Amino acid sequence: MENLPRIVAVLLDGVPETVIAAAGGILLTILLAFSAGLALLSEHRLLRAISRTYVEFFRGTSEVVQLFWIYFVLPVLVGIQLLPLFAGVVVLGLNHGAYGAEIVRGAVSSVPKAQVEGAKALSFSPRDIRWRVVMPQAVLEMLPSFNNLFIQLLKSTAILSFIVVSEVTERGVQVLVPNFGDDIVLIFVLMLLIYLVLAVLITAVMRWLERIGARRLGRRPSASARTAAVAAAH
Amino acid sequence: MQPSEPMIVFEGVEKRFGDHVVLSDLDMTVAPGEHVTLIGPSGSGKTTILRLLMCLEKVDAGTIRVGGRYLTHMEKNGGLVPADERYSREVRKRIGMVFQQFNLFPNMTVRRNLTEAPTRVLGLSKDEANARAEELLDLVGLGDKIDAHPTQLSGGQQQRVAIARALAMRPDVLLLDEVTSALDPELVAGVLSLLQDIGKSTDITILCVTHEMGFAQDFSHRVMMFDGGRIIEDAPPEELFGAPRHERTRTFLQAVSG
């Protein structure tokens, strides 16, 4: 236990990189999820096809292999060498954006048709129907699923250790284990705890958003939303 | 619009869902300010007429005119072509609709439910739209609920808000689609008497689908009995309810009166 302060210090040293990777990945995920999700619902076949291809490709192939492609193969093919952390953010975003697209598509299509008809009966333009009636309701529906997705993304940041980004897992495995081999249990317990704390933070933010959203609908968060948020935190 | 011109004209309207013919070769006219109730068994095409007027469905044949303008078609190079979204939106601004399930927007307060379309669609200023909303909520007896959310209201209150929301667009034509069918029995009378008041105090043309025969009798100038996508009887309420000519009408009225 006498090594505890040093071990903690080294692991905490990796937290900024983990947080940057997760935050960047989440931003890119949101962007891609909405673009691809709405494209999946588009009237234009080509848009739907492009989006469907993107979703199936990134959902259906290994995240680690994708990372190696972007980091190791891309430079050979086209001569672009991305910074490791940036390559990580791109892969995390592309991957989770593909899952997020299905969340967006599902939530938008779950808004009752009656809402669209009510809006049409008031002669709203298609754009107003989408952005003032359908999306505000759909976004609230998405929050619990996005909470899960963001937590998964956070945990996936550990794959960045493969391309030597000095995030939490890389610190633990590459720096601590070789030097403090006797404390291996302690090291990995602390690593788990760090991810848990970060995941709880994500859940706290998402639940706060859910509460704001629920208040705008004049109700408390739905039972299913609460259960999902609790399940995600564990 | 000429003074003598009907408010609503259906000419040879046909509507099919797959092989099922919902309306066939339907002609009908409704005069400005007239209250017409559509009755008939479910699936007889009554609601489809309202949905066609609201452009929630498209005609398969025939034309519909509202206030002297084509709703289903637009004139182009001297001929008629099917209306595009922008054109029919323009014509149906004059039409309001109240639905069975209210269809209020849960993401907006009562106030915004009433002001959003007048500001976005009609271009009213915020103050004008607010004044209109407050006036209409007072009319439907819910002045104190302006900052509530729809989910905090009872079904009857939600339907009153929905009526106010439709009126906020100052429509020439109001479509009422089984507006009391989803309400608890004790809330029905209040909503119906509100509609009576609105019918008496405005000159809005009203087309109404309902199973409330007592209301139909008091409220309508004319009642149309539908069956199998056709109008089989079309008469003033005292005639249609008092002395129905058609056998089908008689059996239907007996069935609904229990």
Nearest CB neighbour to A124, from listed B117, B149, B150: B117
Q: Given an 8 Å threshold on Cβ–Cβ distance, is A121 in contact with B85?
A: no
pTM of the model: 0.86
The phi and psi torsions of B6 (rounded to 5 degrees) equal -65, 155
Judge whether B100 is closer than 8 Å to chain A, CB to CB.
Answer: no
Rounded CA separation A26/A169 (Å): 19
Nearest CB neighbour to A217, from listed B85, B107, B121: B107
**B113 belongs to a structural domain:** yes
- Quick one: DSSP state of residue A5? H
B207 CA to chain A: closest CA distance, Å? 15
Rounded CA separation B129/A167 (Å): 55
Judge whether B117 is closer than 8 Å to chain A, CB to CB.
Answer: yes
Mean pLDDT (10-residue bins), chain B, 258 residues = 79 92 93 95 89 92 92 87 87 93 94 96 96 96 94 94 96 95 91 94 95 92 93 94 92 86
A205 CA to chain B: closest CA distance, Å? 21
Are A170 and A164 in contact by the 8 Å Cβ rule? The answer is yes
In tens digits, what is the pLDDT along chain A, a chain of 234 residues?
Answer: 788 999 999 999 999 999 999 999 999 999 999 999 999 999 999 999 999 999 999 999 999 999 999 999 999 998 888 899 999 999 999 999 999 999 999 999 999 999 999 999 999 999 999 999 999 999 999 999 999 999 999 999 999 999 988 999 999 999 898 998 889 999 999 999 999 999 999 999 999 999 998 888 876 545 554 555 455 444
Give the residue on A whose Cα is nearest the Cα of B147: A218
Rounded CA separation B205/B45 (Å): 20
Count of structural domains within chain A: 1
pLDDT of amino acid A233: 47
Count of structural domains within chain B: 1
pLDDT of amino acid A139: 94
B247 CA to chain A: closest CA distance, Å? 36
Rounded CA separation B169/B117 (Å): 7
Closest-CA residue to B227 (of B207, B251, B257, B208): B251
**Over the range B59-82, which residues count as b (16 or more CB within 10 Å of their CB) and which as e?**
beebbbbbbebbbbbbeeeeeeee
**B55 belongs to a structural domain:** no
The count of CB pairs under 8 A between chains A and B is 72
The phi and psi torsions of B27 (rounded to 5 degrees) equal -115, 135
Give the residue on B whose Cα is nearest the Cα of A112: B103
Domain that holds residue A183: 4-233
Token digits for A49?
């096809």
Q: What is the CATH number of the domain that holds A70?
A: 1.10.3720.10
pLDDT of amino acid A231: 54
What is the full DSSP assignment across A197-230?
HHHHHHHHHHHHHHHHHHHHTTSPPPHHHHHHHH
Judge whether B116 is closer than 8 Å to chain A, CB to CB.
Answer: yes
**B145 belongs to a structural domain:** yes
B99 neighbourhood in chain A, CB within 8 Å: 114, 117-118, 121
**B147 belongs to a structural domain:** yes
**B220 belongs to a structural domain:** no
Q: Which long-range contacts (CB under 8 A, 24 or more apart) does A205-208 make?
A: A206/A143, A206/A144, A206/A146, A206/A147, A206/A150, A206/A232, A207/A147
Q: What is the pLDDT of residues A7-22, one digit of tens each?
A: 999 999 999 999 999 9
Cβ partners under 8 Å of residue A128, min gap 6: A119, B120, B121
**B81 belongs to a structural domain:** no
Domain that holds residue B160: 105-170
Closest-CA residue to B202 (of B50, B49, B34): B34
**B35 belongs to a structural domain:** no
Are B229 and B248 in contact by the 8 Å Cβ rule? The answer is no
